[in-house]
């Protein structure tokens, strides 16, 4: 689940994407914010899938 956060500054965005979600710093600085949003959403979905205890 994507947390409901208030993002006010570049430092907030950096913290969310790089430090929390684990997106590489190089990707953060060199790609468009819309791309980073999609990477973040997909990463959160993947992490949720992996944590699902149901048999795959």
**Residue 56 confidence class, pLDDT cut points 50, 70, 90:** low
Residue ranges per domain, the chain?
10-51
Mean pLDDT (the chain) is: 87
Residue 8, pLDDT > 70, answer yes
* Burial track 34-53 (b if 16+ CB lie within 10 A, e otherwise): eebeebbeeeeeeeeeeeee
């Amino acid at each position: 689940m994507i947390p409901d956060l208030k993002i006010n500054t570049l430092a907030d965005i950096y913290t969310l994407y790089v430090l929390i979600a684990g997106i590489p710093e190089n990707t953060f600085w060199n790609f468009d914010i819309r791309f980073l949003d999609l990477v973040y959403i997909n990463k959160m979905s993947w992490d949720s899938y992996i944590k699902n205890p149901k048999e795959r």
